[in-house]
Chains A and B, each alone.
Chain A
């Protein structure tokens, strides 16, 4: 019994020793400085579905060869874009039934309308009942990411060459951004 008593006393001392010494092994807590959050976000941007009426001048009734619109993307000015964005891949898709090529220009402008970068491509012609898809990617990596950070407006422009043939059809536009961050 005396042995048991002595054993337990020593055992209790050992436990207290364990607690006080706090045995934490095989870990490196300094790694906390290396912790980063790196979300990759897929975000829809602009959409439109237009037809020949959008190319008509509402005053004169004449066909316009160029139409455009501007959308402010205020989130580009937010701190997580300004400080933590590492890359963006833009994706643009047109589905065209107009029987003509259409030049698409997607421009990103600063607050004072200075162009930061633009994505220009030709939308392939389609036909009524035979829509043709044109896809375009634009990858902006770290070396050019400031161009995105300085942008606040996205301008979509469409231009057709003057022609006397019939100009009827539909053009659907989809776009998204694949934003990668490191916080």
Chain B
């Protein structure tokens, strides 16, 4: 009964927090990387050592609103017309996302019958930006076609970070059914930039009964851009790429802004064939303390133009400095500030929930000393995943077929519904030669014949030594 409560709690957490990361590697119990997306995953190995820098290379990129073809189509039409049409068709909830991870070190070993310890270091870059529709249209088209329509400054919303992550995780098998896990993370931030929660709008109103043809109005503007790690690079004039790279790398090793995080995971064998699993990743924050620079633009102002007063002046009198008065007034009302206030960034929380059904019993060689246990050769599953982003969660729903071909080979075929596409088919294939394991996972396969028309693409690949005894 307690277990059901636990499962219900987990379902609730997943339905409210939800996450998405690498669905192709989730619940692949042959691969140590499954512990990175679910520290409470059921695993089927007793030790692993990643090939340094090659145990996982991950790259995913996506754009919900536009693809390369929309802009650069070689179809004889004008590129600027295409850009204009594309920008008009997008909205402020469309987004661009880029995530890259590189495992530097990865290793783990079985402590005893119940516990598996894993640790490592990886570098991550995560960029996420909503399409800043209002400002982008204003810059590209101006206000002429948008009279009486506001340009919203809150359309500006982005986060970007580069960091090194040091992690240590434990996977604990409670009993035959339940496995739980946790992973502690220490973040060493290299670079951060974020601008979220902005407000304000700029509108040009037509005023048929007003004093002038139009009335320009900036209302409730408050735009804040926080950066860390950017200021020193900006100040160093003449810094070469090599020097900048060296500076950034020096922050990888605890030289930057530190933060802490936690991953939690669970898997539970509901009955012989049904398995539930879920995880929450990156429950944590980075405390931006060093090399911080904040840029804030705020205020409100309205105008219908400058007003000459026709004063009585003779030839020697100075004209009234209308422009200077106007500029002073603007500066008083629309202000900008550069400060060095520390700030905290929450990591994009990711969560996964999966339910899978196994069939086709596994047959394995007799290793009576090993816990290795392949329960079923086939798994059919559903996975709900998502990532917390500034304007809400980004969801993905994946259906998968996971097939163990034999002791050394396995593939996983996925179909994912997400913001990018309705035709996202992915494939993961892993093969082990003695103890040497390689894997490759690719999402959105149908798009690969012409990536220009793809809204997203993702790949993970790696190699490592995986031990089973």
A67 at the interface (CB under 8 A from B): yes
| Contacting pair A42 B80 (CB below 8 A) | no
Cβ-neighbour of A35 out of B69, B80, B204, B304 (below 8 A): B80
B333 at the interface (CB under 8 A from A): no
Count contacts on B: residues with CB < 8 A to the other chain. 60
Q: In the bound complex, what is the Cα–Cα distance between A111 and B72 (angstroms)?
A: 44
| Contacting pair A8 B83 (CB below 8 A) | no
User: Which of chain A's residues have a CB closer than 8 A to the CB of B320?
Assistant: 69
Q: In the bound complex, what is the Cα–Cα distance between A157 and B72 (angstroms)?
A: 51
Name the distance in Å between B390's Cβ and chain A's nearest Cβ.
26
At the interface with chain B, which of A115-123, A124-132, A172-180?
A: A172-180
Q: In the bound complex, what is the Cα–Cα distance between A31 and B140 (angstroms)?
A: 17
Q: Which of A7-42 contact B (CB under 8 A)?
A: 8-9, 11-12, 15-16, 18-19, 22-29, 31-32, 34-42
Residue of B144, B213, B320, B411 with most partner-chain A CB within 10 A:
B213
A73 at the interface (CB under 8 A from B): yes
Q: In the bound complex, what is the Cα–Cα distance between A38 and B122 (angstroms)?
A: 44
Q: In the bound complex, what is the Cα–Cα distance between A30 and B327 (angstroms)?
A: 42
| Contacting pair A35 B83 (CB below 8 A) | yes
| Contacting pair B147 A42 (CB below 8 A) | yes
A161 at the interface (CB under 8 A from B): no
Cβ-neighbour of A40 out of B69, B145, B448 (below 8 A): B145
Q: In the bound complex, what is the Cα–Cα distance between A69 and B139 (angstroms)?
A: 33
| Contacting pair A5 B80 (CB below 8 A) | no
Question: Which applies to chain A's interface (DSSP): helix, strand, loop or mixed?
Answer: mixed
At the interface with chain A, which of B9-17, B88-96, B309-317?
A: B309-317
Name the distance in Å between A84's Cβ and chain B's nearest Cβ.
12
B172 at the interface (CB under 8 A from A): no
Cβ-neighbour of B213 out of A28, A54, A68, A174 (below 8 A): A174
Q: Give the size category of A's interface with B.
A: 35 or more
User: Which of chain B's residues have a CB closer than 8 A to the CB of A8?
Assistant: 405, 409, 411, 429
Q: In the bound complex, what is the Cα–Cα distance between A59 and B211 (angstroms)?
A: 30
A139 at the interface (CB under 8 A from B): no
User: Which of chain B's residues have a CB closer than 8 A to the CB of A181?
Assistant: 142
Q: In the bound complex, what is the Cα–Cα distance between A43 and B69 (angstroms)?
A: 35
For A110-152 the 0/1 string (1 means CB < 8 A from B) is: 0000000000000000000000000000000000000000000
| Contacting pair A47 B307 (CB below 8 A) | yes
A166 at the interface (CB under 8 A from B): no
Query: Considering only CB atoms, which chain B residue lies closest to A158 in the complex?
Result: B310
B406 at the interface (CB under 8 A from A): yes
User: Which of chain A's residues have a CB closer than 8 A to the CB of B448?
Assistant: 15, 18-19, 23
Q: In the bound complex, what is the Cα–Cα distance between A12 and B214 (angstroms)?
A: 62
Cβ-neighbour of B406 out of A1, A36, A73, A172 (below 8 A): A1
B427 at the interface (CB under 8 A from A): yes
Query: Considering only CB atoms, which chain A residue lies closest to B80 in the complex?
Result: A36
Contacts A8-B405, A27-B69; A68 near B304 (Cβ below 8 A): no
Q: Contacts A72-B321, A175-B305, A181-B142 known; list 10 others, CB within 8 Å.
A: A28-B73, A41-B143, A42-B144, A44-B303, A46-B306, A47-B305, A69-B311, A74-B323, A174-B211, A176-B214
Q: Which residues of B contact A (CB under 8 A)?
A: 68-69, 72-75, 78-80, 83, 138-145, 147, 204, 211-216, 303-312, 319-324, 327, 405-406, 409, 411, 427, 429, 431, 440, 442, 445, 448-453, 459
8 example contacts (A-B, Cβ-Cβ < 8 A) are as follows A22-B451, A36-B80, A39-B141, A39-B143, A41-B143, A46-B308, A91-B213, A174-B212
